[in-house]
Amino acid sequence: MLHVNDLSFRHGERVLFDRASAAISDGWKVGLVGRNGAGKSTLLKLIQGEFEADGGNINMTGRTRVGSVPQDPPGGDITVLDAVLAADVERTALLAEDATCHDGHRLAEIHARLDEIAAASAPARAASILHGLGFENDAQGRPCGEFSGGWRMRVALAGTLFSNPDLLILDEPSNHLDLEAMLWLTEHLRRFRHTLLMVSHDRDLLNDVCDHIVHIDQQKLVTYNGNYDRFERTRAERLEHDAAQQAKVAAQRKHMQAFVDRFKAKASKARQAQSRIKMIEKLGPIATVPVDERIAFNFPAPDHLASPIETIDEVTVGYGDGPPVLRKLDLRLDMDDRIALLGQNGNGKSTFIRVLSDRLKPREGRIKHSSKLRVGYFSQDQEEGLDYEATPFHHMSSALGPTAGETKVRAQLGRFGFSRDRADLKVGLLSGGEKTRLLLSLATRNAPHLLLLDEPTNHLDMDARASLVDAINDFDGAVVLVSHDTHLVKLVADQLWVVADGKVTPFDGDIDDYQAKLLRERNGGKSGKAGKREREAAAAPPPAPEPAAKKEQRKQSADSRAKRAPLKKTLETLEKGIAKLNKQRSDIEARLAAPETYSDSGVNIADLQREKVRLEREIAHAEHEWLVAQEAYEAA
């Protein structure tokens, strides 16, 4: 499928690849990993022909269709659904040609190809992908320009998935997704039938999806079988073995060198000494085992405050004159809390963070906290406020104020892995991970009691994420976290709060329980042991209800039937309409398949072909309406 042969590439003065080689077979799901700056995104661009290699070559077998998420997401007046449908370039081109073609034989070829690529079911497939990525049915009909950049990136991702390429290339696909969308994407990529090459720092995604790992190591490409956890174990074992071998060689060299030093001056031992010297030369120089330095960082310790450090009493919040986003919140935060906020993007997680940080005032209710409470706030959006011409030292010096000396400024930056050289470099020249660490250092400069982290792992590599886990677990204050990184949530959070339906409520369970709940809701049923227990309980005969309970039960059943009756009628009408359209299409297909049709001068083949296309479009539209009605019926 994909062969990288002796690839060499420089970025400026820096060598990223030096005669690197790797081979990826058809159907592999490959995770491309390495330190920030190792060249992961560069390799993807080389594979797609956006960069030209300095040496070597990259080959793909046959007519491989490559798909990747465009950097510029769709916008303007095109609807979300139409933007995704347009991503299938072949289908779009065939439909456009069909609208203007008058050649009967060419029309037959067009429709044969449209049948092969299942063009008629494309709207339903596109709608299903969009729904998985968080777009409800009404949102799919809205113009792309009405959505934020993050949501438009989801549209771009949906289009790439819909195009179903032979080689799917994804670069950090989880960056704009919430946990719910991440669960769907993981399942979709598991079922993907072609080849996947993905750059990600999400350990759970790499573990759940990938069957091979390609590691960029010392300007080479090293391939490992298995998922990310297996890669880590295998690499650790290899490094340990290499270190043991090098220690053995060093001991041999030392022993032989001692013999040479002792006897090289003695004539009787001169021959043996010369023999040892030749053996030492054959051993070669001692190679060091490459060990990546992990940048550790930590948060400054706050002074102790009595709990609760913040109390939220019947608080309602919103923006401007718009409707409330969160209503009647009644919560408290203690000094030792570790809370992860869960819920779909748009439900109000970031709004709740702004409430806690006093960046959004309540419309109703009260927020009480100590006058000594210090709050640290991190959000990836803060990167837009950085001065790319200034240095990290300048940013920190301005934030700490004129009384802070150079020692204090550099000490705070040093907590987050900034050496003097990196601290004096312009922000515009820093990597994405370094910008994130700079924002974390600014957020914690005053030793906050409450640390609010809104998606802190974006742009952090695996080692930096591990350092973040250590820093949070060692921190003496409270932490409220929003993250799609389930591995991070598992390691640092001891409480889960769900933001949904305008409320923030504690969840009784861990992140695995929450994921299982989401999957059950998505599948319309139960799964796993919990599902088995509930199905068994449902199968057992229920206890006889009391008369009053029986009456209430009948009333609820009647209300439910009344609510579902019009939806059921709509479904039945749609099903009859689809059956009628399918019958009409079958009749036309039978006529087109009959030889006498083409010998009858009174039959216009082009008109038959167009009628078939019209029916296919109506069928696809009707099937989409049926899916929408079916979802409404099941939810009622």
Which of 477, 481, 491 has the alpha carbon at shortest distance from 298? 477
* CB atoms inside a 10 Å sphere around CB 516: 18
496, pLDDT greater than 50: yes
Single out the residue in 508, 523, 538 at which a domain terminates. 523
User: Do 443 and 511 have their domain in common?
Assistant: yes
List alpha helices for 89-225, DSSP H: 89-100, 104-116, 122-132, 137-140, 149-163, 179-191, 203-209
- pLDDT value of residue 590: 82
Residues 245 and 220 in one domain: no
For residue 352, give the nearest of 213, 477, 502, 456 by alpha carbon. 502
State residue 468 phi and psi, 5-degree precision: -65, -40
Q: For residue range 17-58, list pLDDT tens digits in order.
A: 999 999 999 999 999 998 877 889 899 999 999 999 999 999
Helix (H) or strand (E) holding 33: strand 29-33
Same domain? 571 vs 472 = no
Split into its structural domains, the chain has a count of 5
Do 61 and 83 fall into the same domain? Answer: no
Q: 18 and 48 share a domain? A: yes
Query: Do 422 and 554 reside in the same domain of the chain?
Result: no
Q: Which of 91, 152, 90 is nearest to 121 (CA)?
A: 91
Quick: pLDDT tens for 433-457: 889 999 999 999 999 999 999 989 8
What percentage of the chain reaches a pLDDT higher than 70? 87
Q: What is the pLDDT of residues 518-551, one digit of tens each?
A: 878 776 654 444 444 433 333 333 344 444 444 4
Interval 282-290 mean pLDDT: 58
Residue 294 lies in a domain: no
Task: Give tens-digit pLDDT for 210-243.
Answer: 999 999 988 999 999 999 999 988 888 887 877 7
Write down the pLDDT at residue 310. Answer: 93
**Residue 464 above 90 pLDDT?**
no
**Percentages of the chain per state (helix, strand, coil), in multiples of 5:** 50, 20, 30
pLDDT tens-digit readout, 333-372? 999 899 999 988 888 998 999 999 888 999 999 999 988 9
Q: Residue 560, CB half-sphere, CA atoms under 13 Å: how many?
A: 10
Residues 457 and 373 in one domain: yes
Same domain, 607 and 473: no
Per-residue model confidence (pLDDT) at position 611 = 83
Is 290 within a domain?
no
Residues 346 and 482 in one domain: yes
Report the pLDDT value the prediction gives residue 327, as an integer from 0 to 100: 93
What span, in angstroms and rounded, lies between the C-alpha atoms of 483 and 502? 19
Whether 156 and 171 share a structural domain: no
Residue 535: its pLDDT value, please?
36
What is the average pLDDT value for the chain, to the nearest integer? 84
**How many CA atoms are closer than 13 Å to the CA of 613, on its beta-carbon side?**
23
Instruction: Assess if residue 125 is contained within a domain.
Output: yes
Closest CA to 484 of 520, 515, 528: 515
Asked if 475 and 576 sit in the same domain, the reply is no
d(CA 24, CA 248): 35
Q: State residue 178's pLDDT score.
A: 84
pLDDT band at 14 (very low <50, low <70, confident <90, very high): confident
When pLDDT is averaged across residues 272-299 and rounded to a whole number, the result is 66
Tens digit of each residue's pLDDT (9 = 90 or more) over 249-285 = 777 777 667 767 766 666 555 566 666 667 767 666 6
- Average pLDDT score over residue span 570-592: 83
Q: What is the pLDDT of residues 136-174, one digit of tens each?
A: 889 999 999 998 888 999 999 999 999 999 999 999 998
Domain with residue 415: its CATH number is 3.40.50.300
Residue 613 is part of which domain span?
Answer: 547-635
Q: What is the pLDDT of residue 537?
A: 36
Tell me if 338 sits within 8 A of 492, measured CB to CB: yes
